[in-house]
Structures are given as structure tokens and as C-alpha cells.
Amino acid sequence: MANETAQADRAVRLDGVSKFYETQAARITALEKMNWSIGGGEAAALMGPSGCGKTTILNLLGGMDRPSGGEIWVSGENVAAMSERQLEVYRLRKVGFVFQFFNLIPSLSALDNLELPMLMAGVKPEERRVRAESLLDSVGLKAKGFKRPEELSGGEQQRVAVCLALVNDPPIILADEPTGNLDSHNAKVISSMLIDLATSRGKTVLVASHDPKVVEQFPRVYHMRDGAIQQVT
Ligand code: ADP
Ligand code: MG
């Protein structure tokens, strides 16, 4: 029962979500009254051509942008109704985000990059270092903690970025084209790592990609086109 509750808490649901972008020339409809959900602990890929709305969905789920209408339920909370302050806390604690371009601060070492969001979340210094070291160890980078991003390969940087998404132990991991800047070997390593977060650690993982080779590794694939899910495989 407790486990069932935990699973329900992690579920992600879009209820009638619309997103319009206003530009000088036109109003662009990215999503219109979209209904969609993924289960708690699922490793899901969101696949579709460029422009179909994948980033829009991830940004809405990540609390980085607001919908034009509808409700976005994550971990039992309606993200669409949160205040700016609530969104800040949500982004820090409830979701971990992995981006295409690694998103590490260039002047900081890998360890310091990982400690920064813990500092913001009020984690004590000793614990910050222990957690950061243990995360780097878990992705095989224990020896590289004092290296800055430019001293690491692309694959290594993205492994640090996956750790960064995990530092505050959020239930939801969102990744937007996380392998878009990697060769096929490293793409596989990162995809497997993301899938493993769901299977071994019970996280809900959603990865947007337009690369069929990446997507086919995921146990569930949502195929998106023109702002709607067309098929689930
Ligand atoms: P994807 O990630 O699948 O490539 P996006 O979510 O980025 O798709 O884009 C969905 C649609 O919304 C596209 O038509 C895109 O051009 C448009 N769009 C996305 N962001 C903006 C923006 N900031 N301003 C105007 N239009 C945008
Ligand atoms: Mg995109």
C-alpha cells in the first residue's frame, strides 16, 4: 500500500494542457488541450520530429514555463497553479533536468558543480561533499571530481550532468535530447544510465529524443506528432 502511494505520487499527468507562443507575426499553438500521463517509476521516451512539442512538454513539467491552460500534476501537485516561489522549490527538489549541452558551470570542478544545488537546498557542507563524491563514484568518475568541465570529454560531462539532476534526490528526471551531442557509444551509456534510474531507483524518467537508436532502448515509447501523442509502443 505504501508502495502504491509512492508510485501514485510519482505519476505525471497533463489534463487539458494548452501552450500557445505569442510572436509578433502569429500565435503558435504548440499544445492544444493535451491529455497524457505516465506512471510512477516508468522509464519513458518521448519521440517525435523537431517542432512537435517535446521541449514544450518537458519545460512545462519542469516548472520552467507555464501552460496557457490546463493542469499539470506531478508528484500529487498541480505545477500550473504554483506561485513563483513554489516553483523555485519545486525545481530544486522535485525534478532533475538533463539538457543536451550538459549545463555545467565552466569555472567549477565537477564536485563543485554538484554541490551548488545542494548548497541552495540547505544541505550541510560535509554531507554535500559525501553525496557529490558518491554520485561521481556511481558513474565511474570518482577520480575526476576536481576536473573542470572543459577537462572532461562530452560523455563524462553528461555523466556529471546526470549526477547533477540527482543531487537533491528528486522523484522525477526529465531529459531533453540528452544524447544529442554525443557519439553513439556515449549515447548508449547515458540512455542506459537514465533507464536504470527508473528500474533500480524507482525514479520516473522522461527522455525527449528524435533519435530512433536512443528511443528503442526504452521500455515505453510515446510517439508524438503536431502536439499530440499518436501511439505508444
Ligand atoms: P520539439 O522540442 O519537439 O522540437 P518544441 O516544443 O521546441 O518542439 O516546439 C513546438 C512548437 O512550438 C514549434 O512549432 C516551435 O517552433 C514552437 N515554439 C517553441 N518555443 C517557442 C517560442 N519560445 N516562441 C515561439 N514559438 C515557439
Ligand atoms: Mg526540443
CB distance 49 to ligand 1 below 6 Å: no
Instruction: Assess contact for 211 and 204: CB atoms under 8 A.
Output: no
Q: Let me know how long the chain is.
A: 233
High-pLDDT (> 70) share of the chain, %: 96
Q: How many CB atoms lie within 10 A of CB 217?
A: 16
Three-state secondary-structure class, residue 73:
strand
6 pLDDT above the threshold of 60: no
User: pLDDT tens digit string along 140-179?
Assistant: 999 999 999 999 999 999 999 999 999 999 999 999 999 9
User: pLDDT tens digit string along 22-77?
Assistant: 999 999 999 999 999 999 999 999 999 999 999 999 999 999 999 999 999 998 89
User: pLDDT tens digit string along 77-86?
Assistant: 999 999 999 9
Q: How many CB atoms lie within 10 A of CB 180?
A: 15
Q: How many CB atoms lie within 10 A of CB 71?
A: 14
Residue 3: predicted pLDDT: 47
2 pLDDT above the threshold of 70: no
7 pLDDT above the threshold of 60: no
129 pLDDT above the threshold of 50: yes
Nearest Cα residue to atom 10 of ligand 1? 53
Nearest Cα residue to atom 27 of ligand 1? 21
pTM: 0.92
Pocket-testing residue among 17, 19, 21, 36, ligand 1, by greatest number of atoms within 8 A of Cβ? 21
Q: How many CB atoms lie within 10 A of CB 187?
A: 21
CA of 53: how far to CAs of 12, 21, 42, 50, in Å? Answer: 17, 11, 20, 8
Three-state secondary-structure class, residue 78:
strand
